[in-house]
Amino acid sequence: MVVPLTMAVGAGTAQAAASCTTQTGPYQRQVEKFLGRPVDGKQSPADCKAIRSFQQAHGITPTVGYAGPLTWRTMDTILKQRAAGKNPNKAGACPVNKGRIACVDLTRQLSWVQDGRKLVYGPVPVRTGRDGAETRTGAKRIYYRSLKHWSTIYKVWMPHSQFFDGGQAFHATDKSMYNPPGSGGCVNMRPADAKAYWNLLKNGDDVFVYGRKPGT
């Protein structure tokens, strides 16, 4: 079938328009402030472009530039991570009487290595278990390490894997740390951070997981 030129052009224009919403979202002001946009609480083409870029970078769908709950939740997590600075254990939630320990804060999606009260590495953003496959909380220990681990469940490579609770491990991933809905239970890390953890930790080292991942 031959499509008339005017119809083809019209369809393309409609598709392009649909790819960027004009609708103001419930978190418009918060999202505008986070992105450094003028804070007026009203969606604009420039707002949509900035929001879409953020969504695309972190795998948030639908990627239409809408300032909705998931986009704001991700931004709010990033703000909490920034606020941690170099004192992520200010509240003392991760034990300081264990010597070297890897701490995982599910609420802020942060991890770090400390030795007593001394910060050894981090804090760094992590991606933990999604709703229904949450990273289990509590005191753990690394019991198995695999430099180039192959997941027989997910059929993917898990570089620098350090298992601390059954099939749950620290390991590298190429995905954004904010890619929803989360991992299958492991603590996903950026490749450089997973490598640093590999060099800092060993079998028998303590791991402490606490909090609750936003959205679970």
Which residues does the annotation mark as catalytic?
A: 171, 186
Contacts of 106 (CB under 8 A, 6+ apart): 128, 134, 135, 137, 209, 210, 211, 212, 213
Is the separation of the CB atoms in 178 and 72 below 8 Å?
A: no
Beta bridge partners of 108: none
Task: Indicate the DSSP class of residue 90.
Answer: T
Scored b (16 or more CB within 10 A) or e, 142-171 reads beebeeebeeeeeeeebbbbbbbbeebbbb
Distance CA 21, CA 65 (A): 6
The sign one gets for the Cα dihedral 176, 180, 183, 187 is positive
